[in-house]
Amino acid sequence: MTITAPSQTGPSNTYIYPSVDASGTLYIAFASFPKGNRAPTATIYVSHSSDDGKTFSPFVPAATAGVLTSCCLPNTNFRDGITENFTTSPTFPGHLYLTYENWNGTDMDVMFTQSTDGGRTWSAPAEVNDNVDQPGVPTDQFQPSVAAGPDGAVAVAFYDRRRPCPSNPSILPADAGRTNFCIDVSLQAYKDSGSGAAPVSHNVRITNFSWDPQQPGQTVGGLPQLPCADANCSQGFIGDYFGLAISAGNIYGLFVSTHYPSPDVTADNGDRVYYQQQVLATVPRSDFGTGF
Give the separation between CA 36 and CA 21, rounded to whole angstroms. 34
Span 40-83, pLDDT tens digits: 899 999 999 999 999 999 999 999 999 988 778 888 888 888 99
pLDDT tens-digit map of 174-206: 999 999 999 999 999 999 999 999 999 999 999
Q: Give the pLDDT confidence score for residue 69 in this predicted structure.
A: 82
| pLDDT tops 80 at residue 241 | no
Residue 122 has pLDDT above 60, yes or no: yes
- Position 239 scores a pLDDT of 82
Higher pLDDT, 288 or 2: 288
Q: Check: CB of residue 76 under 8 Å from CB of residue 42.
A: no
CA distance 214 to 5: 39
Tell me what percent of the residues of the chain surpass a pLDDT of 70.
99
* Type and span of the H or E element at 9: helix 6-9
Residue 35 has what pLDDT?
A: 74
Mean pLDDT score of the chain: 93
**215-225 tens-digit pLDDT:** 999 999 999 99
- Output phi, psi for 104, to 5 deg: -105, 10
C-alpha pair distances (Å), 1 with each of 30, 47, 212, 292: 16, 15, 42, 40
Q: The pTM is what?
A: 0.95
Q: Report the pLDDT value the prediction gives residue 93, as an integer from 0 to 100.
A: 98
pLDDT of residue 37: 54
Position with higher pLDDT, 165 vs 235: 165
Provide the pLDDT confidence category of residue 36 given band limits of 50, 70 and 90: low
Report residue 168: phi and psi, to 5°: -155, 170
- Mean pLDDT over residues 251-276, rounded? 95
